[in-house]
């Protein structure tokens, strides 16, 4: 049955309990798995503002998703659709309407351009406020934190060709701050040791409806050679509704290199 989550009518969820230092990590991971947000389909809208140094730009997103299958994002600026993105587990498609260009390929495209190492599962986890990098139990490290369960892990960077021969590090470090009451992710961080770059995502204004706990605020902070912040308000969730993922490339568009 479909459930709708609205900012004004939903019950707010607060951090009302402290973490239990005696709770076993495997029990914690099991609780997180049970509470993760993974409906059959979900759509929501985002009103955001990106700040890059002295520059700032506002935008709106329309996001639709069938978890583990497809992510569809429409980007609007100045009341016009500027871009549309379609992501599947192994492919990435993008239309740049402003430049009348399109892209078909894999995740190397965005990773090479932005010096990141993201794949479909990572993108999905960030958009759903689920944990990231905790699939292998033997690599999960638990650290003390007064307000949250803090779980970290690491893995080798997937895109070896992004590295230089003189690089000493090729690892990504993932950190997950877990709310001890709801078992939902309050914060995520990804440290890329190759570029000494950190991406941090902080979720806020959680609400509950129909058994799902979802955030209405998402602050993204990327710290490297410069600082970029993206402040997002999330609203108008629609869960387990019938969705379409329209994506058509005009024959007049030029393919990106």
Q: What is the separation, in whole angstroms, between the first and last Cα of the chain? A: 44
Element (H, E) at 66: strand 55-66
How do residues 195-219 score in pLDDT, each as one tens digit?
A: 888 999 999 999 986 678 999 999 9
Q: Show the domain range for 97.
A: 3-241
Average pLDDT, the chain: 88
Kindly state whether residue 247 falls inside one of the protein's structural domains.
no
CATH number at residue 196: 2.50.20.10
User: Which stretches of the chain are DSSP H helices?
Assistant: 25-35, 108-114, 120-128
Kindly state whether residue 256 falls inside one of the protein's structural domains.
no
Exposure string over 28-37, b if 16+ CB within 10 A, otherwise e = bbebbeebbb
Give 211 or 251, the one with higher predicted confidence: 251
How do residues 15-64 score in pLDDT, each as one tens digit?
A: 468 999 999 999 999 999 999 999 999 999 999 999 998 899 999 999 99
Of 153, 155, 164, 151, the closest CA to residue 118 belongs to 155
Of 178, 177, 175, the closest CA to residue 192 belongs to 175
Element (H, E) at 154: strand 149-156
User: Which stretches of 67-198 are DSSP H helices?
Assistant: 108-114, 120-128
Kindly state whether residue 252 falls inside one of the protein's structural domains.
no
Kindly state whether residue 254 falls inside one of the protein's structural domains.
no
Kindly state whether residue 50 falls inside one of the protein's structural domains.
yes
Phi, psi of 21 (to 5 degrees): -70, -15
pLDDT value of residue 8: 40
Of 198, 195, 202, the closest CA to residue 179 belongs to 202
Kindly state whether residue 68 falls inside one of the protein's structural domains.
yes
Instruction: Output the six-digit token pair for 167.
Output: 């690089």
pTM attached to this predicted model: 0.88
Cα separation, 7 vs 21, in Å, equals 33
**Beta strands at 254-255 and 101-105: parallel, antiparallel or unpaired:** parallel
Q: Please give the tally of structural domains in the chain.
A: 1
């Amino acid at each position: 049955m479909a459930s709708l989550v609205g900012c004004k009518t939903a019950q707010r969820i607060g951090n009302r309990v402290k973490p239990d230092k005696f709770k076993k990590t495997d029990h914690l991971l099991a609780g997180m798995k049970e509470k993760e947000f993974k409906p059959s389909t979900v759509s929501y809208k985002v009103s955001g503002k990106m700040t890059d140094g002295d520059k700032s730009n506002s935008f709106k997103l329309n996001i639709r998703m069938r978890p583990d299958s497809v992510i569809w994002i429409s980007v609007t600026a100045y009341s016009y659709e500027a871009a549309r993105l379609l992501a599947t587990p192994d492919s990435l498609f993008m239309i740049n309407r402003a430049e009348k260009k399109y892209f078909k390929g894999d995740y190397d495209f965005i990773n090479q351009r932005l010096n990141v190492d993201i794949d479909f599962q990572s993108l999905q986890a960030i958009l759903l406020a689920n944990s990231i990098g905790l699939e292998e139990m033997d690599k999960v490290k638990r650290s003390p934190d007064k307000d949250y369960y803090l779980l970290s892990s690491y893995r080798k960077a997937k895109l070896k060709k992004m590295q230089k021969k003189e690089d000493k590090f090729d690892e990504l470090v993932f950190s997950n701050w877990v709310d001890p009451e709801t078992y939902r992710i309050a914060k995520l961080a990804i440290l890329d040791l190759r570029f000494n770059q950190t991406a941090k995502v902080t979720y806020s204004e959680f609400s509950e409806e129909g058994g799902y706990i979802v955030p209405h605020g998402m602050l993204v902070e990327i710290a490297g050679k410069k600082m970029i912040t993206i402040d997002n308000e999330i609203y108008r969730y629609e869960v387990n509704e019938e969705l379409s993922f329209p994506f058509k490339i005009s024959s007049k568009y030029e393919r990106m290199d």
